[in-house]
Structure 1
Amino acid sequence: MEILIKASQFILSLSFLIVLHELGHFIPAKLFKTRVEKFYLFFDYKFSLLKKKIGDTEYGIGWIPLGGYVKISGMIDESMDTEQLKQPAQPWEFRSKPAWQRLIIMLGGVTVNFILGIVIYIMITFAWGIDFVKPESVKNGFAVDEIFQSYGFKDGDKITKFNGETPLDVTEVNKHLFMRGLTSLDVIHEDGSTETIAIPEDIGSIMWENGVLEPFRVRTLPVIDTVIVDSPAEKFGILKNDKIIAVNNTPVKYWQDFSKIASNSKEDKLTLTVERNGSEKTISITPNENKTIGVSNYQQRGVTIDHKDFTFLESIPKGNSKAIWILKDYITQFKYVFTKKGATSIGGFIAIGNIFPATWSWQAFWGITAFLSIMLGFMNLLPIPALDGGHVVFTLYEIITGRKPNDKFLEYAQITGFILLIALLLLANGNDIVKLFTN
């Protein structure tokens, strides 16, 4: 059922984004009196699931859910239909239109993506407001990764400022470190002393290379809120709401203490001492091969979450700012795609589908859809033939130089770009399959 719910949200979100993106091309094409032969959700190689012709345009749903397209007369696109290009250009064809009109048609899709992302974030802010955690609301401080302990941070540190300013949400510290160039953090150590600790300028790269994307984790009480079905924990009698007070006779105070001891244990079994209904119980468990026992602690015990609602007018700048930061953050982390580790981290449809929650949530659905809209807008702007960005580059070249690339060059560029995209698609979904079996 969880897979079905995730898949339903993914397909609905993808369909919504594809249709609106293609409308971004379709509407200006029609305004400039350019014939649109097809408007399709998904690809219709050989046949389509549904189709209906209205005027000059065939509207339909294809059977290959890898995207969608509008087929514009006189344009070299993913259909690779070049027969019409052998005939004299007609007034209704894309190739007959002025370069500035063709540029607007090609930019229409990504423009819709960016505007849609902004609008959705505005409406999310208006409908649900925002949740945030003030620095003083993290009662137990943070558990700190060893790399950051070498800079002077300690377990239990309470973070009070980012770059000398009090953050709205202190739990976003990892995101700010990785993508937003923090240069210092003000902390209060457990002994009450305060310190401003400098951060290396290349901290994002250091985090990426070491696989430490969450160096600061809110310390939470070791109370189990989820026991996975058929896990070692369930088989050996661990129950929800059990509080872990010792592992292998070593007392634990926070969930992070339990995780560290369990993962570093050399024993074949873990001996857990848990508190249940006011009494103590000792349970011996044989972990899985990856040293997990199948329990989790997602609830932020020891953290107070604040909430703020916004009027519609207040939501506009807030939602706009959210969209801009999402785009900036995505561009910042995009550079890591070109590293060896980045190539194996690219995810396909399974990875994207897993972003959606296992239970239906409209707030989560719209938030992820807004993120995907902005991500698709950016990706489509990349100067790769077969993407909107490739067409834009060739059109800008024509506008600047006054010379239009010949059709044969555009045809070969389209084929090259298409092959590249197929290779990336295979890599991304191949990574998903490998991770599915290795995990």
Structure 2
Amino acid sequence: MDPILIKTTQFFLSLSLLIVLHELGHFIPAKLFKTRVEKFYLFFDIKFSLFKKKIGETVYGIGWLPLGGYVKIAGMIDESMDTDAMKSAPKEWEFRSKPTWQRLIIMIGGVSVNFILAFIIYVGLAYAYGEQYIRADSLKDGVAVTEKELGDKIGIRTGDKILAVDGNPVREFGSILMEIVNGNTITIERDGQTIENQMPVDFISTLIDDTDKIRFISFRQPFVIAEVPEDSPNRDTGFEELDEVVAVNGQKVEYRDQIMPILENNKGGTIDLTIKRADGSSKELEAKVDEDGMLGLAIGGLTLEDYAKRGLFKIETKKYTFLESIPAGVNKGVSTVSGYLKQLKKIFNPDTGAYKGVGGFAAIGGLFPDVWDWQVFWNTTAFLSIMLAVLNLLPIPALDGGHVMFLLYEMVTGRTPSDKFLEYAQMIGFFLLLALVLFANGNDLYRWLTDK
């Protein structure tokens, strides 16, 4: 199957699931409180529907515009902007006739379902797959900084050990980059000394401006040859697959980052290499260095397990029983919510430049892999569910959070905002959301054009 089709299928499957369950979160309490629900729609049905069927008092359907979904609850000013019914006297089955606490439960039902869904998925993933990660504190000789300029900006050098971000110990090496992006301070160990560096406010902006360099931190890797390409200047030098460079010009080396500066200093020349073969034997070779300071070899060929066997780091593997998977999944959910809230805080601070990274449908679709992987699919769906819940709680009219804000005002003051006020607020909220959608998808388009 075509990779783009696989990505698109996963995106729409996940999006449809999240929308339907979110709207069910409103629909079920509305029905429990005997509130009439006139429509239940996946996607928006402006002018026409792809499918619709009336069952009882509710029309169920699928719209053509995949920007979300909605339930139209009688006696409520919502995204449908149908205010005609509000001109008549309230009916007992309308939203506006229900006690405030019932209306509040109906409004928070959607985000509640999204949070619950995410936690259930994380519990299921913990039970089905367990956990496997590189222990951040087990890296033998610290990290490799592949982009010196970015490393200098936050005060990290090759060989440093990253201990904590914002005072919280870093557990998983794979989460280091995201924790740095969301953090304000970073604690490292260098030559036996502990150093705490302040993160530049605009560091996220720096990463967004050059996404090719965004993964500038990795674990230190030996120089192992995965392949000798046909167009390599060293095609006939005598290299074999899984050869490892252990010395350059008589100088012992252990990692790739130790070799690169030597190559840089010998551009257009030759160097003497000591090679350790896969069978344990050694070989001396004279290699050509091109004008870019490269040997023209594909590096890699080792798995994470191979690196772990060499003692470069330790891989932590955990399997959970069903009961053990519950706290593990809950902890994963809590940390994901916390991380996303930190991202939002950075986005709403113009000084960080994080707003430039806000993405629309293309960015969300890009979260899914181009091969079908159920573990990745469900993990991405759980994250999107949390994202949908958090964004919907923002106190913007037209979002659930806006309705909740007005209901809390009513509960505290005992005064109900007028229908006309709610109508204007809904219109303002709609235009704010439209502007956000245009901005996010405009960012996607800009990135696509500038990557060409």
Cα distance, 1:242 vs. partner?
Answer: 8.1
Once residues 436 and 175 of structure 2 are traced to their aligned partners in structure 1, the CA distance between those partners, rounded to angstroms, is: 31
Q: 1:286 to 1:7 in 2, by over 3 A?
A: farther
Number of corresponding residues: 417
Q: Does 1:205 align with 2:197?
A: no
**TM-score normalised per structure 2:** 0.79
Cα distance, 1:91 vs. partner?
Answer: 0.8
Cα distance, 1:226 vs. partner?
Answer: 9.8
1:290 corresponds in structure 2 to none
State, as a whole percentage, how many aligned pairs show the same letter: 48
Once residues 110 and 286 of structure 1 are traced to their aligned partners in structure 2, the CA distance between those partners, rounded to angstroms, is: 53
Once residues 376 and 2 of structure 1 are traced to their aligned partners in structure 2, the CA distance between those partners, rounded to angstroms, is: 26
Cα distance, 1:132 vs. partner?
Answer: 1.7
Q: Map of 1:292-311 to 2, 5 A cutoff? A: 300=304, 301=307, 302-311=312-321
Q: Map of 1:33-432 to 2, 5 A cutoff? A: 33-135=34-136, 137-144=138-145, 145-146=148-149, 148=151, 153-159=156-162, 167-179=170-182, 184-185=187-188, 187=189, 193-200=191-198, 203=199, 205=201, 207-211=203-207, 216-223=217-224, 254=255, 282=288, 300=304, 301=307, 302-338=312-348, 339=350, 341-432=353-444
Once residues 270 and 75 of structure 2 are traced to their aligned partners in structure 1, the CA distance between those partners, rounded to angstroms, is: 71
Once residues 96 and 356 of structure 1 are traced to their aligned partners in structure 2, the CA distance between those partners, rounded to angstroms, is: 44
Cα distance, 1:415 vs. partner?
Answer: 0.7
Q: 1:181 to 1:131 in 2, by over 3 A?
A: farther
Once residues 179 and 236 of structure 1 are traced to their aligned partners in structure 2, the CA distance between those partners, rounded to angstroms, is: 41
**Residues 35-76 of structure 1, C-alpha deviations (whole Å, 9 max, x = no match):** 001111111111111111110011111111111110101111
Amino acid at match of 1:121: Y
Cα distance, 1:120 vs. partner?
Answer: 0.8
Moved more, 357-366 or 332-341: 332-341
Q: CA RMSD of the aligned region, Å?
A: 3.9
Once residues 310 and 345 of structure 1 are traced to their aligned partners in structure 2, the CA distance between those partners, rounded to angstroms, is: 36
Q: 1:315 to 1:427 in 2, by over 3 A?
A: same
Cα distance, 1:342 vs. partner?
Answer: 2.6
Amino acid at match of 2:144: A
Once residues 183 and 53 of structure 1 are traced to their aligned partners in structure 2, the CA distance between those partners, rounded to angstroms, is: 57
Once residues 80 and 137 of structure 1 are traced to their aligned partners in structure 2, the CA distance between those partners, rounded to angstroms, is: 58
Once residues 270 and 366 of structure 1 are traced to their aligned partners in structure 2, the CA distance between those partners, rounded to angstroms, is: 51
Q: 1:225 to 1:124 in 2, by over 3 A?
A: farther
**Residues 350-386 of structure 1, C-alpha deviations (whole Å, 9 max, x = no match):** 0011111111111111111111111110000000000
Once residues 343 and 163 of structure 1 are traced to their aligned partners in structure 2, the CA distance between those partners, rounded to angstroms, is: 22
Tell me if structure 2 keeps the 8 A contact 1:179–1:204: no
Cα distance, 1:196 vs. partner?
Answer: 1.4
Tell me if structure 2 keeps the 8 A contact 1:177–1:204: no
Q: Secondary structure at the match of 2:201?
A: helix
Cα distance, 1:256 vs. partner?
Answer: 5.4
Once residues 175 and 23 of structure 1 are traced to their aligned partners in structure 2, the CA distance between those partners, rounded to angstroms, is: 33
Once residues 357 and 73 of structure 1 are traced to their aligned partners in structure 2, the CA distance between those partners, rounded to angstroms, is: 41
Q: 1:428 to 1:309 in 2, by over 3 A?
A: same
1:29 corresponds in structure 2 to 30
Cα distance, 1:180 vs. partner?
Answer: 5.1
Tell me if structure 2 keeps the 8 A contact 1:142–1:157: yes
Cα distance, 1:422 vs. partner?
Answer: 0.7
Amino acid at match of 2:23: E
Amino acid at match of 1:155: T
Q: 1:79 to 1:206 in 2, by over 3 A?
A: closer
Amino acid at match of 1:156: G
Tell me if structure 2 keeps the 8 A contact 1:273–1:283: no
Cα distance, 1:82 vs. partner?
Answer: 0.8
Once residues 379 and 271 of structure 1 are traced to their aligned partners in structure 2, the CA distance between those partners, rounded to angstroms, is: 57
Q: Secondary structure at the match of 1:205?
A: coil
Q: Secondary structure at the match of 2:41?
A: strand
Once residues 154 and 438 of structure 2 are traced to their aligned partners in structure 1, the CA distance between those partners, rounded to angstroms, is: 41
Tell me if structure 2 keeps the 8 A contact 1:176–1:182: no
Q: 1:213 to 1:402 in 2, by over 3 A?
A: farther
Tell me if structure 2 keeps the 8 A contact 1:90–1:96: yes
Tell me if structure 2 keeps the 8 A contact 1:236–1:283: no
1:434 corresponds in structure 2 to 446
Tell me if structure 1 keeps the 8 A contact 2:21–2:110: yes
**TM-score normalised per structure 1:** 0.82
Amino acid at match of 1:177: I
Once residues 154 and 298 of structure 2 are traced to their aligned partners in structure 1, the CA distance between those partners, rounded to angstroms, is: 32
Cα distance, 1:169 vs. partner?
Answer: 2.1
Structure 1 residue runs of 5 or longer lacking an equivalent are 228-232, 288-292
